[in-house]
Structure 1
């Protein structure tokens, strides 16, 4: 059995990881534009003498093959992209790319995975099986995880299970939050284009008001949540953008509504899609208009597998103490494309708390979001321990 003290990070490595994190934060890149980030990760790995492979334009993965023979093939994913946000943290290593910021902790995720790779490579003599460490581009965009899956990231050889973490400002610093079942929701988007018939506002009976049709659709959408869904199952339908009309005395001939739907089960996700389309078409028809609904499937819900989650929870409890590992009660209605991996192989996605006592913690995607670098070794030790303590014994989950 691996000794917990044995995997504690030496100061030299810790200093290097802090340097890495601050460099990544200083030079963020948007989804699918992470060329400099990809090169930087590769350079760090080369400096450590660790071989790696590039996948797609800006993705990287490292396979660490245990020297104790056959065993499970476990994947770990870290996302590497940033957001189109103007940073307001005043950190000494704040973003130098105007309007681009690591406001979701991906610089931390990437650094933690690099530290994990360093540790696992050092201790590969204790490993059986294989660990595939994936630096994924484009998490903040659509289709990135699916693209890596299409390119074969879960094959050659087949990955048996996946792990991922997300820094979380809603838990105390250094604590872990686990959730059985859905931990995040799916997120799909829709555009409803409404076609009416323009006219003079003094003669509305000779026109078909697209604004009226749009307002009726907006007012009716909540009924899909309150009257057609299980009241104890989380579900969100949100219209966030409306465009239409040209003047106060003109009946609008066209209106466009844009929004998102979020669900935690596959059945509800599909049902809401069908009902939203049918509802919109029915209302438009009643008023003599037409609609075209463009519905785009986005990120699936992240559904945590019970046995992988239990394994992670046990390992985290050994390192941090069971009092610092909590089971989350609520599913976040935010989304993460890690759900695409969780659809393919048993997986778990957990939260790592970053809220420090006495300091205001800003939410994800906030221009003042930040975290203390001292959380990095915590994440590294959790990943390293759960891998070593399971793979070194050759456990087939």
Structure 2
């Protein structure tokens, strides 16, 4: 097992590369500069590259000294549509875009591992596939589905990935067996009524009253129609309607998210949401148009592969810092597509400076990471690959 210090010579490269990518963030399916940067390095290091996967994604392969198994390691490359609020030398130069989820670090750590594999391709047998994936944050259905449906992991015997997070301190690695992350589906409901003057509500059909009744009622789907042993969330996050204080509008639209860890529960909630909205709207003399935008399926880690990663983590960061998660995250991640196809595991890498008191969690405009965590992530990538291919 190769210790963290073994990779120190690659640390400056990863930090410099991360800062370059961080300063030039690009949204899903538009990561053209980022994609070119990655491809240029991989070609220089002797990789076989297939690009244009999900527009800007790519898969790069390198072969060891003898034939053997094939492993897939994945990083996502897209940024979020968010204004950065950090005052740092590498602050985003692209207005309204920011790497506030850490994909710049994922890309840099996997590039560090890519350089190492190129420098040491006599040290392993088999094939290593590096997947640099577009649009993990969407637009839906995200970039992962193009990798999987394109057959690019069909020959992989296992697939692995990591996600940096400021929820956890630098030096910690966290894994959840089985159900690890939720399906992050979206819904949009438009309630259509008949607008009228606010002084005479009886002459119209008020979509605002109908919409508020629906919003209240859909919470009972979870509390009264789904088993309390199942984990699920329904949250309404936007509501739009009306144009003046004295006019009842023709329609109201509200949107939100459904988070589930079980596909059967997921489909059941879809049906119940539509039935609840349409029936309540009808009772108010209105009509509800329900649109459900399916996102990624739940992320289910293979138990044996998770044990494999945990054993490596214990060697890399020590038993006190290699931790089992007691509960899943209700966040979503399209690495779930990979795990539907192949056995593997997805884990969290702590990225917060232990001395930092305030936690700016992923997707916060002040999100930033302790860059000394990169060498830990690289050590995990390399050791997972080398141990898996033995």
TM-score w.r.t. structure 1 length? 0.93
Unaligned residue ranges in structure 2 (runs of 5+):
none
Residue number in structure 1 paired with 2:114:
117
Q: Give the whole-Å Cα distance in 2 for the aligned partners of 1:109 and 1:5.
A: 20
**Bigger Cα displacement from structure 2, 206-215 vs 75-84:** 206-215
Q: 2:178 is matched with which residue: 178, 181, 203?
A: 181
State how 1:63-142 maps to structure 2 within 5 Å.
Answer: 63-71=61-69, 73-141=70-138, 142=140
Cα deviation for residue 126 of structure 1 reads 3.2
Q: Give the whole-Å Cα distance in 1 for the aligned partners of 2:51 and 2:196.
A: 58
TM-score w.r.t. structure 2 length? 0.94
Residue number in structure 1 paired with 2:145:
146
CA RMSD of aligned residues (A): 1.7
Decide whether aligned partners of structure 1 residues 120 and 365 sit closer, same or farther in structure 2, where only a CA change above 3 A counts: same
Decide whether aligned partners of structure 1 residues 98 and 199 sit closer, same or farther in structure 2, where only a CA change above 3 A counts: closer
Q: Give the whole-Å Cα distance in 1 for the aligned partners of 2:335 and 2:187.
A: 21
1:299 match: secondary structure: coil
Are the equivalent residues in 2 in contact too, given 1:302–1:342 (CA < 8 A)?
Answer: yes
Decide whether aligned partners of structure 1 residues 223 and 362 sit closer, same or farther in structure 2, where only a CA change above 3 A counts: same
Are residue 225 (structure 1) and residue 222 (structure 2) matched?
yes
State how 1:116-265 maps to structure 2 within 5 Å.
Answer: 116-141=113-138, 142-143=140-141, 144-155=143-154, 158-265=155-262
Q: Give the whole-Å Cα distance in 1 for the aligned partners of 2:43 and 2:384.
A: 25
Are the equivalent residues in 1 in contact too, given 2:4–2:376 (CA < 8 A)?
Answer: no
**Bigger Cα displacement from structure 2, 52-61 vs 275-284:** 52-61
Q: 2:304 is matched with which residue: 304, 307, 327?
A: 307
Q: Give the whole-Å Cα distance in 2 for the aligned partners of 1:344 and 1:320.
A: 30
Q: Give the whole-Å Cα distance in 2 for the aligned partners of 1:354 and 1:187.
A: 23
Are residue 4 (structure 1) and residue 15 (structure 2) matched?
no
Are residue 377 (structure 1) and residue 375 (structure 2) matched?
yes
2:186 match: secondary structure: strand
Are the equivalent residues in 2 in contact too, given 1:214–1:255 (CA < 8 A)?
Answer: yes
Q: Give the whole-Å Cα distance in 2 for the aligned partners of 1:236 and 1:45.
A: 41
Q: Give the whole-Å Cα distance in 1 for the aligned partners of 2:177 and 2:81.
A: 32
State how 1:353-392 maps to structure 2 within 5 Å.
Answer: 353-359=350-356, 360-392=358-390
